[in-house]
Amino acid sequence: MDAYSQDTIRISTELIKETAIYGGYSFNTGDTANKKSHIIEIGIWKSKYVTHIEPANFNYYIGTEFLIHDSQLAIGPKIGSYVGLWMFCLGTDLIYYTDFNESALRLVPYVGFGGHSFKLTFNFYANLTNKEFIYTNPLSINLAIQLKSLKRK
């Protein structure tokens, strides 16, 4: 009589690539002399991720932010990317804000929680041009989620 055991744990190490539409909201604050801003964003992100014992992801994206500040509107086309490991993420955005009279370029590094389909982060705004641009404050709290997957393989 032969006795043996079989390991029933199956670990997937598959690399998944996905293109999706995402949306988000940021509450922009941190400057007591300036009014708070509300930012709504929409764009397309591409993800590469694995979902095994140690989940990891890399996302990059393009999008547009719509910034409302004291009843004024500014838009901000942006590019960015982030990496995640075990639900922690680290990334950066490059955003060009304009109200069609003035403009400003901001580098926005961030840290927080997230995976391939969402992120909740603290964003820190660094002024690259036009420090007098009143629409942005030094800090945002951001939530971005995947709205619709367009392609997955």
Q: Is the pLDDT of residue 9 over 70?
A: no
The DSSP result for 25-73, as a single string, is EEEEE--TTS--EEEEEEEEEEEEEE-SSS-EEEEEEEEEEEEEETTEE
User: pLDDT, tens digit, for every residue of 30-56?
Assistant: 876 778 899 999 999 999 998 777 789
Please state the pTM of the whole predicted model: 0.86
Q: Is the pLDDT of residue 130 over 80?
A: yes
Q: Is the pLDDT of residue 12 over 80?
A: no
| CA–CA gap between residue 12 and residue 5 (Å, rounded) | 21
